[in-house]
Amino acid sequence: MPFLLYTPPLIARNHPFHGGGPTNAAFSGTMPDEPFTHLCQPDSRKSCGACCGIYNYADSSREALAARLRRRTERFRNDVRDAADLPAFSGMIRAAEDQTRRYEVIFCCEYVGFLDGDEKKVGCLLHPAQNNGKDLREISFYGRELCAGHLCPSYSFLSRMEKLALIHVMEDWYLYGLCVTDVDLVKQYFRHLADLLGEIPPAERFREEPVRTIARRFFEFKLHWPFRSPEVNRFGRFYFDGAQHMIRPIDYGALGCERSGFDGIFLSLTSEFRTPDELKNAEDRIQRNITELAGALRASPDFR
C-alpha cells in the first residue's frame, strides 16, 4: 500500500512533508521567468488532493480513498445548497468516517471529493467552480485565503521539465498525487536519467511512446514496491511517533554493503532490505528502468 503524505500549508522548511530541496544543480527548481505550470489541476485526466490530507488517513489505499471521496461527493451534492448546510455536512462526514490519521498534527479536510462524474479529478467541493460561483471555503479548516493562495513545495523545487514530464506521464489522480508531492523521488529519478544520457531530456519527449510508458512504470513503484517497509507509520525516509517525526535511514552496514547510489529513491519508496540479495534486486529494478528509458529517448532522430 503506498504511503506518502502531502506538504500541508504552514509546515516548516525542514519538516518531512515539506518535500526537501533540490538534489542536483541541473534540476534546481523553478526559475523566476518560467511560465506557471499548474500542478493541482493540470488537465482533465487527473489532479492532486494531497494538501487536503487524503493520504494521511490510516487506510490511504486507492480503494479506501475512492470509496470515501465518492460517499462525500454524493452527500455534498444531495445535502448542501448553501453555506448554512455545511456544519451539518461536516458533522455527518466526521461521524460516519474513520478519522484515524497516520500523522496526528496534519489535518484531513472533509470537503475534498471528486470534481467530475468519471472520478478522474479530486479537489475542493467548496470551490466556487463547484458551486455556481459561490466560494464556500471560508468554513474550511485552513480558510479561503490560505486554501486559495497555498502552493506546495513542488511548485518551487521541481524544474519545469520535471513538472511537465510528470503531467505528460500520469493519467491517474491517485498515483499523480503520490508522485508530484515526492520531490526527492522525482528529482533523483531525472538526475540519474540525465547522468546516463549526458543531458536533460525535453519534457515533450514524455508525451511519446514508449518513453511515457517506461517512465510511468518507474513511478508505479509507489504502488507496488516489493521492498516496502510493513510499518504503518512509515512515510519515505521518515517514521512517526504521534506528533514527532524521525529519519529512518537504510542500514547498509548491517547488510555488509556500501550505500547504494539509488539510496534517495529507496528512501522515497519506504524501502527495507533484509539481505544483500534484496538490495541487489532492488538496484537492478531501478537501473533496468532508467537504462530502458534512456534507450527509448536515444532512439529519437532528434537526440543529440
Integer Cα distance of 19 and 154 in angstroms: 7
Give 91-104 pLDDT, tens digit per residue.
999 999 999 888 87
The arithmetic mean of pLDDT across residues 266-290, rounded, is 96
Long-range contacts of 198-202 (CB under 8 A, 24+ apart): 199/304, 200/26, 200/27, 200/161, 201/161, 201/165, 201/297, 202/161
Model confidence at 8: pLDDT above 70: no
Which DSSP letter does residue 247 get? Answer: E
Q: For residue 151, name the pLDDT band (cuts at 50, 70, 90).
A: confident
Lowest-confidence pick of 72-76, 83-87, 209-213: 83-87
pLDDT at 48: 94
pLDDT at 242: 60
Pairing of strands 122-124, 112-114: antiparallel
Rounded to two decimals, the pTM is 0.86
Model confidence at 192: pLDDT above 90: yes
Give 29-55 pLDDT, tens digit per residue.
555 566 788 899 999 999 999 989 899
Model confidence at 195: pLDDT above 90: yes
Phi, psi of 183 (to 5 degrees): -55, -45
pLDDT at 232: 62
pLDDT at 135: 80
The arithmetic mean of pLDDT across residues 72-88, rounded, is 93
Integer Cα distance of 174 and 120 in angstroms: 9
> Structural domain boundaries of the chain?
39-154, 159-298
The arithmetic mean of pLDDT across residues 96-121, rounded, is 90
In the numeric block, the cell 455536512 is attached to: 89
Average pLDDT, the chain: 85
Q: For residue 133, name the pLDDT band (cuts at 50, 70, 90).
A: confident
Give 221-275 pLDDT, tens digit per residue.
999 999 998 876 666 666 666 656 667 789 999 999 999 999 999 999 999 999 9
